[in-house]
Amino acid sequence: VWHAATQLNNDKAPMTTDAGTAATPFDYGAGQVNPTGALDPGLVYDLAADDYLSFLCNYGYGASQIKLITSPPAAFSCAGNASKDLISDLNYPSIAVTGLGAGASRTVTREVTNVGAQEDATYTVAVSAPAGLDVKVVPSKLQFTSSVKKLAFQVTFSGKNTGAKAALTGSITWSDGKHTVHSPFAVSSS
């Protein structure tokens, strides 16, 4: 299980590179390390071996190639709809989307698990998107209860006609008032 519970303090200055420029998701990944925050992350993005096998299939590896590097279940085979477009659906806190041209859109799905001490928790989303990119998260609220521990959401990226050559970066952040779970994204046209 990879814990994406980065407790960000909005009162601090933004993260920067060693050169002093503003850091992007390429510099800091899914967030900064906060050891005490990892003890009570609130939400996590769970991944299992099957998720990584699907990722390899979508990347273009065949079942026979995958069997050379790992030991999947005996009846393992790649899905017939395997495609590089599905790589972005790996249930990982960071989101990377490639090949999004002007006027196009792409939707990715994520699932989070509430592991916080409070079973009844409502998380709302905040989106930080650059000019040239529309980002919509559905639903915009996640309501967890004692019987509902896992919830999925979709993020739709829509490119505007800006002619951006570099990747457009931003983030989505889920918060219940106590926990802040930050997921950076990078979207490129190539």
CA 100 to CA 14: how far, in whole Å? 27
CA 68 to CA 70: how far, in whole Å? 6
Alpha helices in the chain (DSSP H): 25-28, 35-39, 49-59, 63-69
**Res 108: pLDDT:** 95
As a dihedral over the C-alpha atoms of residue 171, residue 126, residue 30, residue 93, rounded to 10 degrees, the angle is -100
Rg (CA), the chain: 18
What pairs with residue 16 in β-bridges?
Answer: 22
Residue 138 has pLDDT above 90, yes or no: yes
CATH topology of domain 33-187: Immunoglobulin-like (2.60.40)
> Residue range 105-122: average pLDDT?
93
**Res 23: pLDDT:** 78
| Neighbouring residues of 115: CB distance < 8 A, sequence distance ≥ 6 | 41, 42, 43, 44
Read off the pLDDT of residues 52-72 as tens digits, 9 standing for 90 and up: 999 999 999 999 999 999 989
Q: What is the mean pLDDT of the chain?
A: 85
- Domain range summary for the chain, segments of one domain joined by +: 33-187
Read off the pLDDT of residues 85-100 as tens digits, 9 standing for 90 and up: 888 999 999 999 988 8
Q: What 3-state class would DSSP assign to 154? A: strand
Q: How would DSSP label each residue in 103-143? A: T-EEEEEEEEEE-SS-SSEEEEEEEE--TTEEEEEESSEEE
As a dihedral over the C-alpha atoms of residue 20, residue 22, residue 28, residue 30, rounded to 10 degrees, the angle is 160
